[in-house]
Structures are given as structure tokens and as C-alpha cells.
Amino acid sequence: MSETRVFLLPDLGEGLTEAELVSWHVAVGDSIEVDQPIAEVETAKSAVEVPSPYAGIVAELHGKPGETLDVGKPLISVTPVSSGAGVATDDAAPAEPAQPAVVPAETELAEPKPANAEAEAYREEEKAGSGNVLIGYGTPGGHAAAKRTRLPKASVSVLEPAETQPADKAADDLTLLRTRVPGKLGAVISPLVRRMAREHGVDLGVLHGSGESGLIMRRDVEKAISAPVAEPAETKPAPVVEPAETKETQGRDARTGLAISSRTPVRGVRKAVAATMSRSRSEIPEATVWVDVDATGLMELRESMKAGGAAVPGLLAFIARFVTAGLKKYPELNTRIESAEDGSQEIVGFDGVNLGIAAQTDRGLVVPSVRSAEKLSARELDAEIRRLTDVAREGKATPTELGSGTFTLNNYGVFGVDGSAAIINHPEVAILGVGRIIDKPWVVNGELAVRKVTELTLTFDHRVCDGGTAAGFLRFVADAIENPTTLLADI
């Protein structure tokens, strides 16, 4: 029987460094095949099933459901068996990959020379998989090769401190071999950059990436390392003497004196949402404008369409259609601010609208986006919004679907509220909220009437525009809701 092989938890997309183990699909002693799902894990992006790159007998499961596992740490041990035992061998010809993973510049080392026999063994093991892709990660193998950018030796040597031991370096190189970072969304970082930051004590959570879409590059970490550190005036703070009764003991909170009923770790999607919202509040000087809107005309239009027997898009799809038209007239709200290394800033505009739709899920708030939404009719928008909402709630939305928006539409009216000063979805510059539609007294042609009224709330980044632009966009959408036929010739 062959030597047991250990499969390390791979990077499941966008440079995430950890994942929570939700459940195992196999048990010790089970026979498994290449690409068979072995576990479900939840990352800050979504829940995914992890396939095995090996065939054989499960020898050990490294973790229990509910545990948080680090990328590059052991996930499962598999003992290959001979072909006569009825299980596919590791020497079987690899299948063609579904698609090669595309690796951006500065996110991965070129195929390095193995530092020791273990790395060489991994190189051979890597050829045994099928190459099937799963959210940027696939079991390696097949004949197609991903494009890689080779880094010069000088650029790599800066990551190796003189005091690093050969054995430590070999283990680190092997971990890097098994980690893949396929995308550039948000603050994505390569294994090299993560290791460099870890060795120099740099907190990546507070860095502003200078690369495309906020990508944290090696130069960003080097700049943080070279930045002067302010020394506190008092190197030895006076000791704080606390009475014994203020300490937290036996599950009682020291500040309130109340018994602690629960502790919930902040991780997964909730951790990602917290980081994004905190960054938005700290970086964006936001302002909010709002207006009450008579939606009676839109409601009557939908009722007339239903009477005709036609399939009728949802209200959110109609509003999404008005939003994309409004962003064409007021493109300042469909931008992003980028900062250069010298401290200068640019407002980056886009030829198109990727419309984010805020969706509440069991795992937290996520924002999948309708790509090129300005090209879609109300019916097409309705179909795509429903599809994205479904995959988001199932935890199956891809990193691209979750991280490529340029403007967000948030329908919090489904929760029975009228308005909210929403937090902008960083790095976007604006978010439009829609409240519930309810009967209200309204003046029509000088007469008091009962109308269907909703509240629109626009929160915007004051760096990209002033109140006049924001108010103009908001009024445009409001007028379209009140007189919908003017913009819905392409329903």
C-alpha cells in the first residue's frame, strides 16, 4: 500500500486565508475518487464543496464541523490503493480540465524548483487530479497550463530574511505551491504578500491596495514596513490596579455585571461584511438625501400587465431599470475612487453598470451584481435578479458575482421599514434604498387622495459629487416611478 498523502486546504478564491468547516461528506475508512466532494466549507464569500485531488482510502480527517481552518493546513489524509482494490489509482491518466485557473500578475510564484523531496512529491501528486475548477480552485492536472508571471530572483529574495532556516523555507515554499489566488477582487493578496506581511508584523486589514480594484501588492507591504513607527511617550505605562470583583469570572460580564448568555465568533460572511462596512465608514465622507415618491402609476401599470395575461417583472426590476437610466445621465455616481502611492486620487468611471442587489441570507448580507445591467430590459433584469438572489441565499454565488458591482440597489422595504441611511458598499460611491410601499394621504391636482407612496434614500460619497448631482439622480428615479411608461418602452 502506498504512502498516505495529505491534502492541504486550498485557497478557495480571492486570497481568503481561512474557512469554516461546515460538514464532512466522507468518513475515515471510506473509499473516495478523484474530484469526489469530501467536505463543505464556508468562506467569507460563500459556501463551497471541496473536491479531493486523490483517490484512495480516507485515513484521517483534520478538523471537526464548526472549526475554522487556515489555508495551507491539512484537511484530509488519503492512502492510495492499488487498482486491483477497485479504487482509481493516482497513476491514472488525468482528465482534461474544465478550464484553467487564470492567475494575475504578482499573485503567484512561477513553478519554483522544489526545495526538498516533499515538494517534489507534491509536484507529482499535483498531476493526478482532474483539473476541474471550483470557484477559482480545481484539483490540479490535465494538459492545459495556467498563465503565470515569473518573478525575478531579486524580487523574491526580499521575502526571505537571513535568519530563515532551510527547513522552514522548504515548508513555506511547499505551502505556497499548494495555494492559488485566482482573482483580483477587493483586497486580494498573494501568498507571497501574505507571508511577507506576517513576517514583518504588518496588518493587511488596514492597508489600502494600490493595485487594480484595491489589490494589495508587494509594494504596499514594503511601504508599510518602511513607515516610521511612533514611539509612545511613556514606555512603561503605570500599572492599572483593578479590584478583584471587576474581573470577568464564571461567565459574568465585568462591565455590566450581567451573566453572559452567548458568545458568537465573527467569521465567514459576517466577518467580511464587518470589514467592508468599517472601511466604508472610515474612508468615505458620505451624505444622504431622500424623497417620498407616489408609486401609484407604477403599481397600476403592473396591474394592467397582469390583466393582459403577460408575465410581469417584480417592482425591484422596474426600479433597477430606472436606476441604470439615471446612472447614464448622472455617471458620477457610477464611479470609484483610487489612491496612488504618492497620495493623489483619481475618480475612475466605467463604461457600463454592474448593478449590485443587496440580499439578506442566513449567512449575512451579500451583494451579488447584475453585470452590464444597462443593456437589459425590465424582464431581463427581473430574471437575473431572481437568479442572483437564489444563488446568494444558497451560498453558491461566485467571487465575481459578489465583488464586481459599481452601484448598489437595496430594497429594505421587504422588512417593513420606510427608510434607512445605508452604508455605501465600498469601494462603490453610492447606494439607493427603497422603502415599503404603503397607502398615504397625497395631494393630487389640489385634491387630497390616498396614494401608494414609497421613500427613496440615496447615500453618496461627497468626494465624487455634490448635493446637486445626487438630488438630480434621485429626482430622476422618482419621476420615472411616478411616470413609468416614459422609460419602459423595452419592458
> Is 389 a residue whose pLDDT tops 60?
yes
Per residue in 29-74, pLDDT tens? Answer: 999 998 899 998 877 656 778 888 889 999 999 998 888 888 888 9
Supply the pLDDT for residue 273. Answer: 77
Strand partners, 299: none
What pLDDT score does 91 carry? Answer: 43
| Range ranked top by mean pLDDT from 261-275, 375-389, 392-406 | 375-389
Whether 237 maps to a domain, the answer reads no
183 and 292 together in one domain: no
> Do 331 and 446 belong together in one domain?
yes
Return the residue matching grid coordinates 464587518.
Answer: 274
Residues 163 and 292 in one domain: no
Asked whether residue 231 is assigned to any structural domain, the reply reads no
Query: Residue 341 domain-assigned?
Result: yes
Beta strands in 17-160 (DSSP E): 18-24, 31-32, 37-42, 47-51, 56-61, 68-70, 74-79, 133-134, 137-138
Instruction: Report residue 53: phi and psi, to 5°.
Output: -85, -5
Phi and psi based region of residue 255 (left: phi greater than 0; alpha: psi -120 to 50; beta: remaining): alpha
Q: Would you say 7 and 76 are in contact if contact means Cβ atoms under 8 Å apart?
A: yes
Comparing 103-107, 186-190, 384-388, 468-472, which segment has the lowest mean pLDDT? 103-107
Residues 178 and 327 in one domain: no
Do 220 and 312 lie in one domain? The reply is: no
> Is a pLDDT exceeding 90 seen at residue 221?
no
Indicate whether 256 belongs to any domain: no
Q: Is the predicted pLDDT of residue 412 greater than 60, yes or no?
A: yes
Q: Are 209 and 143 members of one domain?
A: yes
Q: Are 340 and 346 in contact (CB under 8 A)?
A: yes
What is the predicted pLDDT for the residue at 212?
A: 62
Q: What is the mean pLDDT of residues 221-243?
A: 59
Task: Give the confidence band of 175 by pLDDT, cuts at 50, 70, 90.
Answer: very low
Residue type, 477: V
**Domain shared by 354 and 451, yes or no:** yes
Whether the CA torsion 91, 96, 98, 103 is positive or negative: it is positive
Cβ contact 441:448 at 8 Å: yes
Does some domain include residue 246?
Answer: no
CATH of the domain at 355: 3.30.559.10
pTM for the full predicted model: 0.55
pLDDT(311) > 70: yes
Which long-range contacts does 391-394 make (Cβ < 8 Å, 24+ apart)? 392/359, 392/361, 392/366, 392/368, 393/359, 393/361, 393/362, 394/47
Tell whether 50 is covered by a domain: yes
Whether residue 394 is predicted with pLDDT greater than 80 in this model: the reply is yes
Mean pLDDT of all residues in the chain? 76
Both 177 and 33 in one domain: the answer is: yes
Q: Which of 176, 126, 136, 185 minimizes the C-alpha distance to 12?
A: 136
Which amino acid is located at 288 in the chain? T
349 pLDDT tier (thresholds 50, 70, 90): very high
- The more confident residue out of 100 and 12 is 12
In the set 143, 208, 426, 462, the catalytic residue is 462
Q: Are residues 139 and 14 in the same domain?
A: yes
* Catalytic annotation present for 462: yes
User: Does residue 74 sit in the same domain as residue 167?
Assistant: yes
**175-179, 236-240, 296-300: the lowest-pLDDT one:** 175-179
pLDDT of residue 428: 95
pLDDT at 476 over 60: yes
Last residue of a domain, one of 197, 224, 251: 224
> Which residue, of 224, 245, 260, is where some domain finishes?
224
- Contact by Cβ (8 Å): 47, 22: yes
Does position 151 have pLDDT exceeding 80, yes or no?
no
pLDDT at 322: 96
How many domains, the chain? Answer: 2
The last residue of one of the domains, among 224, 258, 292, is: 224
Count of residues making up the chain? 491
Task: Taking residues 333-357, report their average pLDDT.
Answer: 93
In a domain, 250, yes or no: no
The set of cell numbers assigned to 65 is: 464541523
Residue 327 belongs to domain spanning: 269-486
